[in-house]
Chain A
Amino acid sequence: MSTLLAIDGVSKSYPGVKANDDIHFSVGAGEIHALLGENGAGKSTLVKMIYGLVRPDTGGMRFNGVEYAPHGPVAARAAGVAMVFQHFSLFEALTVAENIALGMENAPPRRELAQRIREVSTEYGLPLDPDRLIGDLSVGVRQRVEIVRCLLQNPKLLIMDEPTSVLTPQEVDQLFFTLRKLKADGVSILYISHKLEEIRSLCDHATILRMGKVVATCTPAKETARSLAEMMIGQELAHPPVKDFQPGPVLLKVEGLSMAAPGQFDVALREISLSLRSGEVLGIAGVAGNGQDELMLALSGERLSAPGQVVLDGKPVGAAGPNARRRLGLLAAPEERLGHAAAPDMSLADNGYLSGRIRKRLSVRGFVKQGAVDAFARKIIADFDVRTPGIEARAGALSGGNLQKYVVGREVLQEPKVLVINQPTWGVDAHAAAQIRGALRGLATRGAGVIVISQDLDELVEIADSFAVLANGRLSPVRSATGLQIETIGRMMGGDFSAAEEGAAHVSA
C-alpha cells in the first residue's frame, strides 16, 4: 500500500500548551486510519493543520509524494483533502444546495448542482433533497450534507472528526457502509474518534495521541477496547462506580408534560411522563436535537408549564421558576457550560453565587455575603479537584473538563433532592469524566434522585439504574438499565417505543 499522507515531525504550541509535539505518522492510500485520543490530546489541532486552518510551528507534511503545506482550506481542498467537522460547518438558514456550493471551489450552476447532489447522494446511500433548509433537517441528515459536500470534490483523503457522536446506531451502520464503499473506491479516510468498538470494527490502523505526542500505533482489530483505552489514557482504566440502587420513595413526577417549540428550529415536548425515586439514576438517551434542551429547561424551571405537570416531593412546581425549585431541592446543570451553566466572563466566585445563592444562603436581603461566596467557591475547587489559578479566574478561561467539574460540583455540593444534568461529560477527559460520574453516583447513594440526559450510551449503561429514550420530543417508557441491547436502544431512538418493553420489567412499576 502506497503512502498518501505523511506527517513528519509536526509541532504546534499555544500559550501554555504544546498541542502537538513532534508528530510522525502516515496514512496509506485506500486506508481507514484512526486517530485516537482523549479530549485535549491534540487531535483537533493536528487535523486543522492537515486541512490548512492552522499552520505548524515546525515540521512538514507530504501528500501524494509532494511537499504539502496548505495555507488555507481552499488550498487543502484543491490538493484533494476534504473534512467533515464535528460541529458542522453548515448554515441553518441556507438550503442544502447552497451549503454544498459553499464548500466547492467551482460549483456548477444551480440546476446541474442539484442533479449531481441527487446522483452522488443516492450512489452512496445518503439521500438528500437539495432544496431543503438545513435548519429543518435532523442532525443525522445534516451530516450527510457535509459528507456529500466532500464527495462532490472527489477527495483523495476524507477527514472525519467524531462523526458518530451524533448518530443513532442505525445511522452509524449506514455511515460505515458509506465509508467502506469509499475505501473500496480508493479514498483514504482519517477517522477521529474515542469510540473504541467502532474503531476496532472499521479502521485498518490507528495512531494514538496523548498530551500532544504519538504514544502508540497499532492494528485496532488485534487489540481489545480495554487495551486501546489504556493506551489512550496512559494508565489503567478506572473501575466504573458501583451501582447500589435501593429504591426509595418517589421524589419527582412528571405527568403529561407538553410544550410548544420555542423557536423555528426547536423541538416541541409531547406528553412526557416519568417518575424518579430516591437513590435512582435515570438515564435519558437520544440523539441531539430530539428535545433534550427543551426537557432540561422544563425541569430546571427556565420554561414553565402547568403546576401539576412537574411534581417535586408531592408539591406541584411546574409553574415555579428556577429559584423556587432550587429552594425545594430541584437543581439542574445544563449542557452548555459557557453562557448557560456559567457566565464565561464572570469569576468562579460569581459563578458559584449564580446558582448557589439560595440553598447556600449566600445573600441577606439581596446583599451579597462575599465571605460566604468565596468560601463556597473554594470548597467546590477543593472537593472537585478543579485546576484553576483561583476563585477570581474567569470561568471562560478554564478548560472544558475543569469548568464542568466546577459546574457539577456547584450543584452536587448543594445536596439537592433531585439533580437534572444534561451531557455531564461532553468534551471532558476520561479522568474528569470518571470523577463526575462518581460524584453523581455518590449523590444517588446519599438518597437523591439523579436524571442524566446524555448522548453517550456507554456512559448511561455505566451509571444509570433505569433508562429511557427521548425521540422527537417524546419520552419512551422507563425501563431497567440492566440487560439493555444496543439494537433495542437503536429502535427506541428511531421512535419505536415498543422496544422498551422487551426483555426488561418496568422499573417503577
Chain B
Amino acid sequence: MFRLEPRAVTPVWITAVTPLLAVLATMIAGGILFALLGKDPFETIRVIFVAPLGDPYSRTEMLIKAAPLVLIALGLSFGFRAGIWNIGAEGQYVMGALAGGAVGLAFWNVEGAWLLPLMALAGMAGGCLWALIPAFLKVRFNANEILVSLMLVYVATLFLSAMVSGPLRDPAGFNFPQSRLLHESARLPIVLEGTRVHVGVLVALIAVVVAQIVLTRHLFGFNVRLLGQAPRAAAFAGVNAKRLTVVLLGLSGALAGLAGIFEVTGPIGQLQPSLPVGYGFTAIIVAFLGRLNPVGILLAGMVMALTYIGGETAQFSLGIPAAAISVFQGLLLFFLLAVDLLTRYRVVPAKRSGV
C-alpha cells in the first residue's frame, strides 16, 4: 500500500504537470463514456480536442468563448484563494448584461463614442452590486455566501426574463420576449478584421496580466492568500477580513458583469432570456483548472473553450448529446481535485509493519 507524506516544498513542475494529468485522465474517462454511447472514442476525442485547433475560424471562436470564462474565473480565483465562495457568478453575469444592456437601450440610436464605456461601467456596476448582496449579508449577518449567491442566480435569471418580456421588450418584436437589437455605437469593435474577435478579448488578456502582478507582487494578493490559508494569521497581520470579503465579492461580481455586457455588446447584440448559458458555473472549473493562477486561468479558459467549440462540432457531425460535454467538464473538475493531492503530499510506498 501507499502512504501520504506532506511536502516541505512543492516543486513548480508538479503544479504545472498536475492539470495536464487531469486533462489526460478526463480524455480517457471521456473516451470510455463516448464508447458507452456507441461512438468511436478516438474520433470523438479528435473532433473535440484536435480538430478545432486546425481550423482558423474555430481558433478565433475559441478566443471569443474563452474571454468571458477567463474574466469571470479571474475574479472568482481571488475569492477562492481567500476562502470566499462566490458561486453565483452566473447571476452577476446576467445582472451585468442587464444593467449595461438597459443603458444601451436607453440611448438607442444615439451615436457617440462614450456609449460603450458607459455601458461597460453600468455592466460592472450591475454585477458588482449583485455580488455585494451576499457580501453584505455575510459580513453583517454571517449568512453563508455560497447559498445566498447561488439563490441570486435564480432570481437574476427570472428578473432578466421578466424585463425582456416587460419593460425592455422590443416594441416591434411581435411580443417575443427579447429586446431590440443594439445599434452600431453600442456594439463592441472588432479587433481582428474578418473575424468576430472583439475588444473584450483584449480586455481579458490585460486583466490576466494585471491579476498576475497583483497576486504575486502586491500586498493585496498576499493578503488574499493569507486570509484563505490562515485566517487567524491574517488577523495577526492586520488584514481586515470583512473589508477584504466585500472587496473580493464586489470585484468578482464586477468582472462577471463585465463579461455579461461584453457578451451582449459583442456576439449576441441584444438582451434575451437565453443569455445565461452557464459561463458563471463553467468559470468555476476554469478557475480550478488554472490552479487559481491568472496565467493558468488563461490556458484553462482556452482548453474549456476548446471543449465548447469541439463539442458543438461533435454534436453536429457525430451526434454526441450536448449534455455529454457538461459531463466531460464535470469529470475534468473531479480529476483536477483528485490530482491536487500530489501537490500537497508525496505518495510513498508504505513500509511493512511487524518483524
Note whether A and B contact each other (Cβ less than 8 A).
yes
Which residues does A use to contact B, with CB under 8 Å?
13, 15, 55-60, 300-302, 321-323, 326, 332, 334, 336, 339-346, 350, 353-355, 357, 363, 366-368, 370, 389-390, 392-394, 396-397
B1 touches A (CB below 8 Å): no
Give the docked Cα–Cα distance between A301 and B239 (Å). Answer: 11
Whole-angstrom distance from the CB of B7 to the nearest CB of chain A?
7
B355 touches A (CB below 8 Å): yes
Known: A302-B235, A340-B233. A366 touches B219 (CB 8 A): yes
> In the complex, given contacts A302-B236, A339-B233, A344-B230, what are 7 additional A-B residue pairs having Cβ atoms less than 8 angstroms apart?
A332-B236, A343-B226, A355-B237, A368-B219, A389-B9, A390-B9, A397-B9
Is the contact region of chain B dominated by helix, strand, or loop, or is it mixed?
mixed
| A368 / chain B contacts, CB cutoff of 8 Å | 217-219, 222
Known: A350-B222, A354-B226. A322 touches B236 (CB 8 A): yes
| A-B contacts, 27 listed (Cβ < 8 Å) | A15-B5, A55-B354, A57-B351, A58-B354, A59-B355, A301-B238, A302-B235, A322-B237, A323-B238, A334-B236, A339-B230, A339-B233, A340-B230, A341-B236, A343-B230, A344-B229, A345-B230, A346-B225, A346-B226, A350-B222, A353-B222, A354-B236, A366-B218, A366-B220, A368-B222, A370-B217, A397-B6
Whole-angstrom distance from the CB of A18 to the nearest CB of chain B?
13
Give the docked Cα–Cα distance between A339 and B229 (Å). Answer: 8
Known: A368-B222, A389-B9, A397-B6. A55 touches B353 (CB 8 A): yes
Q: Which of the residues B233, B238, B355 comes within 8 Å of A58, measured between beta carbons?
A: B355
B113 touches A (CB below 8 Å): no
Closest B residue to A358 by CB, please name it: B238
Whole-angstrom distance from the CB of A402 to the nearest CB of chain B?
12
Give the docked Cα–Cα distance between A265 and B237 (Å). Answer: 25
Q: Which of the residues B218, B220, B236 comes within 8 Å of A300, measured between beta carbons?
A: B236
Whole-angstrom distance from the CB of A487 to the nearest CB of chain B?
37
B8 touches A (CB below 8 Å): yes
Q: Which of the residues A13, A301, A342 comes within 8 Å of B233, measured between beta carbons?
A: A342
B232 touches A (CB below 8 Å): yes
**Once the chains bind, are A367 and B218 in contact (CB under 8 Å)?**
yes
Q: Which of the residues B8, B229, B353, B354 comes within 8 Å of A343, measured between beta carbons?
A: B229
Interface size on B, residues (CB 8 A): 26
| A393 / chain B contacts, CB cutoff of 8 Å | 8-9
Give the docked Cα–Cα distance between A302 and B233 (Å). Answer: 10
Give the docked Cα–Cα distance between A336 and B238 (Å). Answer: 17
Whole-angstrom distance from the CB of A213 to the nearest CB of chain B?
20
**Once the chains bind, are B232 and A339 in contact (CB under 8 Å)?**
yes
Closest A residue to B352 by CB, please name it: A57
Whole-angstrom distance from the CB of B225 to the nearest CB of chain A?
7
Q: Which residues of B (297-355) have their CB < 8 Å from a CB of A?
A: 348, 351, 353-355
**Once the chains bind, are B348 and A15 in contact (CB under 8 Å)?**
yes
Whole-angstrom distance from the CB of B305 to the nearest CB of chain A?
31
Q: Across chains A and B, which 3 residue pairs bring their CB atoms closest together, nearest first?
A: A397-B8, A323-B238, A343-B230
Closest A residue to B219 by CB, please name it: A366
**Once the chains bind, are A340 and B5 in contact (CB under 8 Å)?**
no
Give the docked Cα–Cα distance between A136 and B233 (Å). Answer: 26
Give the docked Cα–Cα distance between A396 and B229 (Å). Answer: 12
| B229 / chain A contacts, CB cutoff of 8 Å | 343-346
| B355 / chain A contacts, CB cutoff of 8 Å | 58-60
**Once the chains bind, are B219 and A343 in contact (CB under 8 Å)?**
no
Give the docked Cα–Cα distance between A391 and B204 (Å). Answer: 34
Closest B residue to A59 by CB, please name it: B355
| B217 / chain A contacts, CB cutoff of 8 Å | 367-368, 370
